[in-house]
Amino acid sequence: MRQISDRNMRYNFYDYNTRVWHWIDPDFMASGASVYAERSGFGNLQVEPGSGVAMVVAHTGTGISLHPVLARDYEPGAGIFEFGSGPDGFSSPVLATGGNGWAHIALFDNENRGGVWYSRCTTWCEFEPPRIISEPGFPSFNIAASSVSEKVVIVWVDSFGGDSIYYLLSTDGGTTWSDTISLTPPPGYGGDTITSFSKLGPFPYFDRSDRLHFVVDVLPVVNDTARVVRAGIWHWCETNYRGGLYVAWEEFDSTNVEPLTNLLRANIWLAGSSDNGQTWRG
């Protein structure tokens, strides 16, 4: 049996019938099951809408052989994965699953180190040849797919200054794409303080009415210097005029320290708004 690396994508499943997690460590630091049998990372997890099984993507390998590997669970909560490898030379994959079961993957060209590329699997783990979508984009790109239509969106932040969000929209499952659309930061701070988009994001999603949303951290820029605080969370939707909004984030607490490693633990917070963002409750 191959030794599992300590750098891995880990997966857990909460069983609503038994009200317990399938793989739980008393201290929570080793909870979850390792997805890959080799060193891997820089990926994400999605749920296949039709079956409810987990799908995971990450990159493995080294140098020019670095490549994405797509994993799919045997059934919800089984932790038994089948795998399919993508093309060499691409890293930092991000996965979105569409309502028709297609896997949409945004990629980074590891050799030229520029631009966002796109591939998809319309048949399980048969990667289409990647094609360039945008430039620049690394490392701040993301992808989302609708569960009720064939819409797919790829979004990224200007890697030079964080002064714009750019996105491309496909309405036919990634076959064709719109021209690049840009969004400028909101006037979040006032006065001479400029608002900048964080490079850690943005996070797109389609709601049940097929409307596109972006959630992204915004930072104040004072005298041409970006400040970590006071950071804010910006939610954008072109057509959402009412309804509930919910935002989750993690926040490190200096009093919440893991005893063995002396590392800070992150608390997970949730805030909700019932009036389309006018007021919020934690």
Residue 139: which pLDDT band, with cuts at 50, 70 and 90? low
In this structure, what token pair is assigned to residue 186? 């909101």
Look up the pTM and report it: 0.85
Q: What's the chain's average pLDDT? A: 84
Q: Would you state the pLDDT for residue 219?
A: 83
Ranges of each domain in the chain: 10-191
Is the pLDDT confidence value at 159 over 90? Answer: no
200-213 pLDDT, tens digit per residue, is 778 999 998 999 99
Q: Would you state the pLDDT for residue 3?
A: 43
Alpha-carbon torsion (172, 177, 178, 180), positive or negative: positive
68-121 pLDDT, tens digit per residue, is 999 999 999 999 999 999 999 998 899 999 988 899 999 988 877 778 899 999
Q: Would you state the pLDDT for residue 2?
A: 38
Q: Would you state the pLDDT for residue 1?
A: 31
